Amino acid sequence: MPEGSSKPLWVLVVILLLAVAWTQYLADPIQYRMQEKAKPTSGGGELMVQLPGQFIVASVAGFKEVIAGALWVRADTFFHAGQYEAIIPIVRLVTWLDPHNVDVYSTGAWHLDYNFVDTNQMSDKRYIPAAVALLKEGIKHNPDIWDLYFELGWTHYNKKILDYEKAVEYIEKACTKDGVDPNTGQRVPRPEFVDRMLAHMYEKVGRFDDAIKQWYKARKRVEEAIARERKKKKGGYVDTTSLDVCDRNLGLLYLRLAWRYGDMEAYKKGLEIYKRLASRKDAPAQLVEATRGAEADYARRVATNNPPRDALKPLDAGFEVTWKKVAPKVFIIKGKVNLVPASEYKDLASECFTHWYRDNQNAPPDQRKLWRDGCRIRWILRDYDYKMPELKTFSYKIDKTKTIAWDSVYVSGGTFSDRIDLSQDPDFYPFKADKYKLTIMFVPQQAECPDYVQDRIGWKGEALRDKRYLDTKTQPGFHLLRKEMVLSKKDVL
Amino acid sequence: MIIWSIAKTTVGDALRKKVLQIFLVVAIGLIIISLSFSQTLSFSSRAGSSTDIMLVKSFGLGLMAVAAWLISLVMGVSLIPQEIERRTIYTILAKPVKRYEFIVGKYLGAVLTLAINVAIMGVVFIAVCVFKAMGAEQPIAPEETGLPIVGMQQVGLFDWNMVWGVIMIFLQFTVLTSVVLLFSVFLTPTVNFFMGLGVYIIGVMAPLTETLSSKESQLHPVLKAFYRVIHTVVPNFDKFNVTNTLLHPETHIESMAKYTGIVTLYALFYSLLMMLLAIIIFRKKEV
Amino acid sequence: MADAIAVRNLTKVYGGALKDRVPAVDNISFTVAQGEVFGFIGPNGAGKTTTIKILLGLLFPTSGEAEVLGKPAGDIETKRRISYLPESPYFYEHMTGAEVIDFYCRLFRMGAAERKAKTQELLERVGLAEDGHRTLRQYSKGMLQRIGIAQALINDPDLLFLDEPTSGLDPIAHKDITELIASLGRQGKTVFLSSHQLGDVETVCDRVAIINRGKIVKIGTLDDLLRAGRTVITFAKAGSELVEQVKPYAERVSADGELVRVYVESEENVHSVLDAARGKATLVSVLPQRQTLEDLFVEIVREVRK
């Protein structure tokens, strides 16, 4: 041959082939970590096989995210048309195509949690496990940012029954993660409200020491955020409301610990915070008045050695409830419970600060009833053997033969009643079982139990007593009211 | 110097190809049009205009990949055959030009052409991204938490990840160009076009061949070995497809720079391999 | 002095091992001396371009040897001293005439100053000094051919391969290029001119080989091939016995119906033929003639086809 032997070149070919294999070997593990979908075991390949041909072509052409985006836009039109059922398969597809689109997971879960509603705007609880599974899948793909942990925590707190501890766990997890700039992808600190939310959560589950520590942490993060903002804006206006939010919440936590459980040390600390807030030039008059009231109360109690212990004084709930079928699948719930808001009590310790009783007395008669609304009583009606499934993988196909419904009824002035109509949505409430379990309960932790009720009964319902329905077992340390009934088919249909 | 002269001539020739110009202009036009894309998902608590930017980015990266793909294929298939058809190769090889110099010069020219095209698109694309990001805000807190919304936060303007994205597109298609160049030594342009297309599709589906050849695969050992060979020999174009990671960089575990480094090496070695094979064949090729 | 080109038993069969392929070049041998203007003529598809490409190392022989300037064909060093003008050359259209020449100069690793001077000189030499700044897209076929010639002259080659340099040109370009080739010959360059334009070959070549269907059917100086004193003796009513009888004296014998033509080279042989034919056939004519190359070519080709 004109240019010499090719043998040395073939040797080079082999060397290069080895180099190619070597770099592939180096890059593979990184790629798997970056692209969950590429991991052979968890099925990059299967995914390709499962997806329709045009998606393969599109993804080959590098348009996966565009397809995902286009589908997502389509989902929006379904949303506006009220076709929620059409959205969820799109969520599935979009998360397949674009497993790192955090927004799709949180929005998808939100749809499942909130948007499948019956004629009375009650959401279909059967979708909750699917929402949880979707969020968990999202976390698997996006483990390093706070967003989906937070969503999952929120779902556990607000949607799942009695899963507050789990909710705290997830929010705690969210508090260890960074956030991310949605455009540049640069790591940014997570928003401070995540930390604040954790403090609220600790308070809800009665971990007061943790709550106090968390408020200090959250406050520090807010300070840091404000400092960053100052640096960035170089003298421009910087909103510092978040700092006050932290202060007021922590101060109130201290004060409530005093009012409810008689912790005078906490009283002092809470007052210090409020005195500082009230001493500011722009302090609102209400705040100044409240602080003065609490100061006077504190001084009097110290002088007479009479710490308040409102939540430790037993309160007979006198819980009575009836559940009556008035037509097939239509019920009337009616009852009494001695859970009235603080505005009904003359001598609660918090009155010195909140003046709810006083304001209630001074209110014009037509507005008085607004002051009577208190907590909510929750009812849960479900197939006798219904257990909320734990889904390992996300699937939006639910068992449509099962029935579970819950909602809550306002307690106003110590009584409650509501008409519950489950007859209009046979899809939601098929009532196929022979036996049903009805639980009617009051849980002091639940989101709907406001501070002005807790001021009398405590965070954990410590003050609650009831001859028939007191439940101290379901949640150790907590006093719940709980009535459980078994309904036959006849009682329902 | 000979290699450089041949490369320069190749670039000049390729840049004047109408069909390549059309790909470039259409791609740039579409990238600019994508500015108007938005997905106002009003039900989403977190979808602000940041989601719109993501759509623009995803579309732009995808579009650039398609344009670069077409450019490298259309340019690559005619690299050698056109020289023969025009008989320019005879005057060149009748001069004291070694055959490898010709091949290397042609490849270098093709890669330069690709670089110029991708760079032009990349600059427009990144400008569009920055423009879209200007004034884009997103709410800080989700609504359903009931916490007071502290306000809107401004999103960052310049996304370095998009630069990585453009580089990855360039690297990816230098590899495809090298494959097509090798084929163009002995295949007609039409056949080569479809061969290049096939190799690209197999290469993009690398995760599939990987899965089929993995330990967990249920296939017959012989088939597995076959897929293993395919997986190793066919360029792994999926390695360059990091769009999703770039769009959602929060999932970065390793630094993008390290990964890009390894992938650059991969592209380099693979292109060298293809070039070497092309040279070996071309040395014995009758023109 | 060594031969500029030496071809021995060269055979080229296209398309690999298939046995029934017709060889494009079939066991040819010839030499071209240094300083010679060598005409390589034959009809289209006769094997001219194949031979040139083998000599340039663009194609590889199936068997046989091809040496150029004392080295095997395709030697990279030899290429510094040779040049090639392909048939209807085509260059990168986007370049100007000057840029193309500059590009080819680079292939010889020339420095910038040398390239500039060379480009200018060559453009003048081929009559394109005025058009060097225009892109080749605006060039006529004749101008492209001139660029082709210019690129073939860059290295001041000792040996030039010109493949159909005048095909499709207008008369003026034709004349210019023919003159240029002649002047190359006068400068002592070896020129290997492949053409089917026999007029050109006749004008400029010292020696000619006629190739047809891959075989060299005639080779020699123009004087040898077209020697004066060639005589055609035509008989009528000649029997096959007579044809056999005159063959030893004749260069060729051709029968055309009743007429038999005997081509005889020397006067002596004319007599011998006439003697032999006496009484055995009717003598039609005895015509002494000087052939043109074209006559010879047509004759040979026609004969071979029979």
Q: What is the CATH number of the domain that holds A283?
A: 1.25.40
User: What is d(CA B128, CA B53) in angstroms, rounded to the nearest whole number?
Assistant: 9
Q: Which helix (H) or strand (E) holds C260?
A: strand C259-264
CA B32 vs. chain centroid, Å, equals 20
In a domain, A121, yes or no: no
Are A320 and A394 members of one domain? yes
Q: Which helix (H) or strand (E) holds A69?
A: helix A64-80
| CB neighbours of residue B254 within 10 Å | 13
pLDDT tens digits, A258-293: 999 999 999 999 999 999 999 988 888 999 999 999
Of the partner residues A31, A45, A110, the one whose CB lies closest to the CB of residue B211? A45
Are A303 and A440 members of one domain? no
In a domain, A80, yes or no: no
Rg for chain B, CA atoms, rounded? 22
| CB neighbours of residue B45 within 10 Å | 19
Mutation target for B interface from A6, A20, A76, A150: give the one with most B CBs within 10 A.
Answer: A20
Are A455 and A323 members of one domain? yes
Pair of tokens at residue B267? 């592209």
Are A295 and A320 members of one domain? no
Series of mean pLDDT values for 10-residue runs along chain A (493 residues): 70 89 81 52 36 46 67 72 76 80 84 82 87 90 88 86 86 89 76 89 92 94 87 80 89 94 93 93 90 93 91 92 92 92 88 89 81 85 89 82 90 90 88 92 84 89 92 89 92 87
User: What is d(CA A491, CA A127) in angstroms, rounded to the nearest whole number?
Assistant: 26
Are A319 and A282 members of one domain? no
Query: How near does any CA of chain A get to the CA of C10, in Å?
Result: 16
Q: How many CB pairs under 8 A join B and C?
A: 79
In a domain, A48, yes or no: no
Q: How far from B144 is each of A76, A102, A110, A180, CA to CA, in Å?
A: 19, 16, 9, 20
Share the mean pLDDT of chain C.
86
- Contact state of A62 with B136 under an 8 Å Cβ cutoff: no
Are A336 and A472 members of one domain? yes
The better pLDDT of the pair C267, C159 is held by C159
Domains in chain C: ranges and CATH: 3-222 (3.40.50.300), 227-290 (3.30.70.1150)
Q: Is C135 helix (H, G, I), strand (E, B) or coil?
A: strand
| Boundary residue ending a domain (A307, A334, A358) | A307
User: Which pLDDT score, from 0 to 100, does residue B137 have?
Assistant: 64
Is A3 part of the contact surface with chain C (CB cutoff 8 Å)?
A: yes
Q: Is A184 helix (H, G, I), strand (E, B) or coil?
A: coil
Are A303 and A324 members of one domain? no
- Contact state of A76 with B39 under an 8 Å Cβ cutoff: yes
Q: How many CB pairs under 8 A join A and C?
A: 8
User: What is d(CA B98, CA A3) in angstroms, rounded to the nearest whole number?
Assistant: 8
Are A298 and A321 members of one domain? no
User: What is d(CA B243, CA B64) in angstroms, rounded to the nearest whole number?
Assistant: 12
Ranges in chain B, pLDDT < 70: 37-51, 135-155, 216-217, 244-245, 248-255
User: Which pLDDT score, from 0 to 100, does residue A359 have?
Assistant: 87
User: Which pLDDT score, from 0 to 100, does residue C40 have?
Assistant: 92
Q: Search chain A and give the residue with CA nearest B131.
A: A183
User: What is d(CA C174, CA A452) in angstroms, rounded to the nearest whole number?
Assistant: 111
- Contact state of B96 with C53 under an 8 Å Cβ cutoff: no
Count Cα atoms within 13 angstroms, Cβ side, for C146. 28
Q: Search chain C and give the residue with CA nearest A1.
A: C60
The boundaries of the domain holding residue A231 are 191-307
Q: Total structural domains in chain A?
A: 2
Chain A hits for C75, CB-CB cut-off 8 Å, are 2
| CB neighbours of residue C7 within 10 Å | 24
Q: Is B177 helix (H, G, I), strand (E, B) or coil?
A: helix
| Boundary residue ending a domain (A280, A307, A334) | A307
User: Which pLDDT score, from 0 to 100, does residue A242 have?
Assistant: 85
Query: How near does any CA of chain C get to the CA of A5, in Å?
Result: 14
Is C151 part of the contact surface with chain B (CB cutoff 8 Å)?
A: yes
In a domain, A415, yes or no: yes
Q: Search chain B and give the residue with CA nearest C159.
A: B94
Chain C hits for B84, CB-CB cut-off 8 Å, are none
Q: Is C34 helix (H, G, I), strand (E, B) or coil?
A: coil
Q: Search chain A and give the residue with CA nearest C74.
A: A2
Chain C hits for B91, CB-CB cut-off 8 Å, are 84-86, 89, 91, 104, 148, 151-152
Residue A419: CATH number of its domain = 2.60.40
In a domain, A429, yes or no: yes
Beta strands C82-85 and C230-236: pairing type?
Answer: unpaired
Query: How near does any CA of chain B get to the CA of A102, in Å?
Result: 9
- Contact state of A24 with B45 under an 8 Å Cβ cutoff: no
pLDDT tens digits, A114-137: 888 887 888 888 989 989 999 998
Query: Which residues neighbour A153 within 8 Å (Cβ) at sequence distance 6 or greater?
Result: A167, A168, A169, A170, A171, A173, A174, A197, A201
| Boundary residue ending a domain (A307, A331, A365) | A307
In a domain, A251, yes or no: yes
In a domain, A360, yes or no: no
- Contact state of B95 with C104 under an 8 Å Cβ cutoff: yes
pLDDT tens digits, C107-153: 999 999 999 999 999 999 888 888 999 999 889 888 888 899 999 99
Are A199 and A268 members of one domain? yes
Of the partner residues B247, B259, B276, the one whose CB lies closest to the CB of residue A13? B276
Pair of tokens at residue C254? 């051709």
Are A446 and A404 members of one domain? yes
Structural contact between residues A464 and A479, judged by C-beta atoms closer than 8 angstroms: yes
**Nearest Cα to Cα of residue C103 among B175, B219, B13, A231:** B13
Are A246 and A286 members of one domain? yes
Query: How near does any CA of chain A get to the CA of C49, in Å?
Result: 19
Chains near B (3 or more Cβ pairs under 8 Å): A, C
Pair of tokens at residue A16? 């290069």
Are A394 and A485 members of one domain? yes
Report ipTM for this prediction. Answer: 0.79
**What average pLDDT score do residues C184-204 get?**
86
In a domain, A272, yes or no: yes
| CB neighbours of residue B36 within 10 Å | 9
Q: Is A235 helix (H, G, I), strand (E, B) or coil?
A: coil
User: Which pLDDT score, from 0 to 100, does residue C82 have?
Assistant: 93
- Contact state of C104 with B91 under an 8 Å Cβ cutoff: yes
Q: How far from B115 is each of A108, A373, A440, B83, B239, CA to CA, in Å?
A: 41, 70, 70, 22, 19
